[in-house]
Amino acid sequence: MGIRLDLTTCGITQGQRNTFTDNLNDALAKLDSGKEAFTGWVDVPGIVTSEEMNDIEKTAEEIRAKCDLFIAIGIGGSYLGAQSVMDALFAGDGENGPEVVFAGCNISGAYHKKLLEKMDGRDCCLCVISKSGTTTEPLAAFSILKEKMEEKYGDEAASRTYAITDKEKGRLREEADELGYKSFVVPDDIGGRYSVLSPVGLLPLAVAGVDIRALTKGAVDLMSDEAGKEAEVDYALTRVALSMSGKWIEVFEYFHPELHFFGEWLKQLFGESEGKEGKGIFPASLMFSRDLHSMGQFIQQGKPMLFETVIIIDERNDDLMIPESAGAPLAGKSIEQINDCAIKGVIAAHTKAGVPVIKVHVPVMDAYNMGQLIYFFETSCAISAYVMGVCPFDQPGVEAYKQEMRDEIARIDG
């Protein structure tokens, strides 16, 4: 196992974790049975066939050859996974292939107007991603951007448009089939927030130049690793035990800003999987050391209702020396040495203040270890949701808001 869980400062004992053994056994049986709805992501090699993997890579190569701006349109699970991996690996910035940007993840006029302007003078491709094929935000953005593509490319626009959606249901599937977009299928048995290792994440990531085979291998290796399974269980049960002791907020923290969107992905994963039937742990995320100068105060001395999960990259790919002009004590040390002091200092200060801290170590930030992180958190999250007694794979609240919004839209005059 590449990633490593450290529970030495979490404040929960093995004895406390053991109190959930019955619920845990039920949870593991459900996940491992292969029969439970929406558990298709558990068996990583089963998510995409080797033909699909080849097709994704071939299509990505074609896209890389014909555009310098690739716009992936989607929201929630249909974009956060790709954005988080891309950012963590500094991919998709246009330096080694097309610039990859996201749309349809907000309903801002200003955002999409700027994007239309950006498309001027650039070679563009669109990829619309929606499992249901009916979500308002991506469909609205897609229509706007598609019109621009038709203006730019006329009949050629369809051959620059890609769709990732259900194999037969939804408006998007109908359109893709009718207009002949190259399309990929979101597997039936995988929900949005568990779909990053399906075409939903893999196509945009391959276009961004990410090694999607290494990403997948990281997850596959963790899946077949006994120590990995133990760590997923321990993390899940520690979280449940902490919540039962009154810690109802989990703050995901990272000391490298490229993990910002991984924090967003984690919030979606845990928030949508656990937050139902009056249960769940509220997931928050903070970027350190920036947020130590704002939220750090609350964590240290505010209402004691939270615990922290810190993601620590052990070996840094880039480092810089601090010049002599900084004077003592900084001069002659590297910026990542100082970052390490921040990590150690924060954990020491917060644990002394009685805040439980869970540490997840990543040996080095690369595609393989991102695959491990994704699988680790997905599996732990599904286990803890089951142990709490909720279904990890539905999102009735989100569906309720989607319908209310559609009703509001239908009431707009004219």
- The residues binding ligand PA5 (CB under 6 A) are 75-78, 130-132, 135, 138, 191-193, 272, 395, 398
Min dist CB 87 to ligand PA5, Å, is 18
What is the number of the residue whose Cβ is closest to ligand PA5?
Answer: 192
Min dist CB 399 to ligand PA5, Å, is 8
Query: Reduced to 3 states, what is the DSSP secondary structure of residue 103?
Result: strand
Element (H or E) spanning 25, and its range?
Answer: helix 21-33
CB atoms within 10 A of CB 26: 13
Q: Which is nearer to ligand PA5, 231 or 383 (CB)?
A: 383
Is 166 within 8 Å of 173 (Cβ atoms)?
Answer: yes
Catalytic-labelled residue, pool 293, 303, 352, 408? 293
293 is catalytic: yes
Min dist CB 45 to ligand PA5, Å, is 22
Give the distance, in angstroms, between the CA of residue 275 and the centroid of all CA atoms in the same chain: 17
Residue among 212, 261, 240 nearest 19 (CA): 240
Min dist CB 137 to ligand PA5, Å, is 8
Min dist CB 31 to ligand PA5, Å, is 17
Structure letter (DSSP) for residue 390: S
Q: Which is nearer to ligand PA5, 92 or 192 (CB)?
A: 192
List phi, psi (to 5°) of 284.
Answer: -125, 165
Supply 346's token pair. Answer: 């924060």
Structure letter (DSSP) for residue 356: -
272 is catalytic: yes
Min dist CB 75 to ligand PA5, Å, is 5
User: How far apart, in Å, do the first and last CA atoms of the chain sit?
Assistant: 58
Concatenate the DSSP letters of all residues of 131-142 into one string: SSS--HHHHHHH
The amino acid sitting at 57 is: E
Is 210 within 8 Å of 64 (Cβ atoms)?
Answer: no
Catalytic-labelled residue, pool 137, 264, 272, 274? 272
Write the Ramachandran bin of 385: left for phi over 0, alpha for psi from -120 to 50, otherwise beta. alpha
CB atoms within 10 A of CB 347: 19
Min dist CB 405 to ligand PA5, Å, is 12
276 is catalytic: no
CA–CA gap between residue 89 and residue 67 (Å, rounded): 21
List phi, psi (to 5°) of 90.
Answer: 55, 40
Q: Which is nearer to ligand PA5, 11 or 76 (CB)?
A: 76
Residue among 155, 73, 151 nearest 112 (CA): 73
Burial class (CB in 10 A: 0-12, 13-18, 19+), 318: exposed
Supply 169's token pair. Answer: 């249901």
CA–CA gap between residue 208 and residue 83 (Å, rounded): 10
Question: CA-CA distances (angstroms) from residue 396 to 274, 277, 317, 391, 400?
Answer: 12, 10, 41, 11, 6
Q: Which is nearer to ligand PA5, 193 or 256 (CB)?
A: 193
Min dist CB 59 to ligand PA5, Å, is 19
As annotated, the active-site residues are 272, 293, 402
